[in-house]
Amino acid sequence: MLFARSFVSLCSLLTVAAASRGIIKHEGKPIGKEIEYDGVTLYITEPKRPSKDDVAVIYLTDVFGLPLLQNKLLADSFARAGFLTVTPDILFGDPAPHDIEFNGGEYLSRHTPENTDPIIEKTINYVHNQLRISKVALTGYCFGGRYAFRFLAEGRGGDVGFAAHPSYLQDSEILAITGPASVAAAEVDNLLNATRRSELEALLGDTPQPFQVNLYSGTSHGFGTRANVSDPQQRYGKEEAFWQAVHWFNNW
């Protein structure tokens, strides 16, 4: 009997692992399409089997934006998990270069909330008015993680949010959330270090909203999208952070 239970448990784990491989893709060709809406480029991936017809995921990228293959592949993975997924070009055609010596301060001065918020507002309008989907789940990475929080504030249009290694997140933006928020944090991250993580947790605790903060060992800033998937620990972190978001959206 013990062997039978163990065998069933093993089969269940193998089934889950196989399903995960079918949903999460780290390489290959993107399956979505790009459209223009109100001056904004949107990358849209539709699910074959929607898990919830009344929910759309808005994917808010890191500073490498739509040109980064991993961003489109991750958006496609959310669609395979059952969510119609819309990824706006929140960088308005100005992604950061893959050059470690580029001037980050000068770049970010061109990508302030005043420049970025209107793009996300138009994307939410598209989901509500063109797709006729009422509920918005926000998933943000690095640069985009801050905006997952910003648009969880009252009247901003987000209903539930997830952020992986969010950068430059302000205290006021955390305290303003009016929906459940989940965070995936890297072990090594100078933009969300141990001290700032503790502050983030305390601030989330000061809100009445459900929240979750998971820390992934062996990872560094950017792992949610750009992990080295040939490293088992980094691959695990990236995939578990993805499922963290999916489970959060399915439950809230």
| Residues with catalytic roles | 142, 189, 221
**Dist. CA 90–CA 185, nearest whole Å:** 22
What is the edge-to-edge ordering of all strands in the sheet holding 84-88?
A: 33-37, 40-45, 84-88, 55-60, 135-141, 160-164, 181-188, 211-220
**Long-range contacts of the stretch 26-29 (C-beta < 8 A, 24+):** 26/70, 26/73, 26/229, 26/235, 27/73, 28/73
**Dist. CA 138–CA 123, nearest whole Å:** 11
Tokens of 60: 């808010």
